[in-house]
Amino acid sequence: MTSVIVPEVGDLAQREEEQGPPRRHHRHKGSERRNWLGGAFGWIWLLIVIVPIYWIVVTSFKTRSSYFVTNPFLPGKPTLENYRFVIEADFASYFVNSVIVTLGATVPAVVFAFMAAYGIIRGTGGRFLRFTNSIFLLGLAIPLQAVIIPIYLIIIKLRLYDTLIAIILPSIAFAIPLSVLVLSNFIRDVPRELFESMRLDGASEWTMLWRLALPLTRPALVTVSIYQGLTIWNNFLLPLILIQSPEQRPLPLALWNFQGQYGVNVPAIAASVVLTTLPIIILYAIGRRQLLSGLTAGFGK
């Protein structure tokens, strides 16, 4: 006779636990749908953005004579003559001026905004702190174009006209409100128990500011620094109104004057545009991860 081995109930239960719950191959029909319309608009937007960039880069490597006889979108025989011409046109001094203005305005604005945001969120001032926060928020509603004449008159009274300080001071003032708003939201998300624990250990407010709040809000600080740095780097109105001497011009104003002086030399203008935007690309490549983490930090909460 043939013997049949019947598994015990305990063995079956153990085998089912090891295999886990049965897999379901059923999927909702909605999850398999693809957003073809959104993808098409995404590719169209990519082409709209990348075509001018491609044209500028390709044109910057062409000679002045070949630019007028060749297809604008086809690369010809590459040359670095345009970049040599731009660098010899005192490009280094304009670059240094832009670096001084950007760092001189971004660093004080972010540091002051960080301390102000900490005081507004963790301070005990009550009405005074709420009033201070309202003043900072009011600064977001005032555009630079509306107060450019008062700024010009104040700079003249302070005898700072035609200096880099004349650009740095207004840039700091306009960078603080948005920085305070962003940093306040991040400091508010830090658990209050952490501050209370450090306070019980004898830590002062200054210690909690730099040893607790600073490390936990680093993505926000990087995000604000990069955003404000790009805004100040590309600022054109303040240098146009407050700078007169050629040796004090930052890159945007120098590029505008360069375009007016060498308007027919299109490849040289394209090379100057590439050199002007190159530091922005490098800055984004360095702080890309921190920038993305700072921009998306609030969506996972």
Is residue 232 within 8 Å of 101, Cβ to Cβ? yes
Whole-model pTM?
0.78
Identify the pLDDT of residue 301: 44
Q: Taking residues 191-206, what's their average pLDDT?
A: 86
In tens, the pLDDT along 18-47 reads 555 555 545 555 445 788 888 889 899 988
**Strand, coil or helix: 7:** coil
In tens, the pLDDT along 245-272 reads 988 999 989 888 887 776 678 888 889 8
In tens, the pLDDT along 171-191 reads 999 999 999 988 988 888 888
- C-alpha dist (Å) from residue 133 to 120, 146, 178, 208: 7, 22, 11, 21
Q: Taking residues 102-116, what's their average pLDDT?
A: 94
Identify the pLDDT of residue 294: 58
Is residue 118 within 8 Å of 134, Cβ to Cβ? no
Identify the pLDDT of residue 4: 45
For tokens 């993808």, name the residue.
39
DSSP class per residue in 25-89 = ----GGGG---HHHHHHHHHHHHHHHHHHHHHHHHHTS-HHHHTTS-TTS--S--SHHHHHHIII
Domain 91-249 in CATH 1.10.260.30? The answer is: no
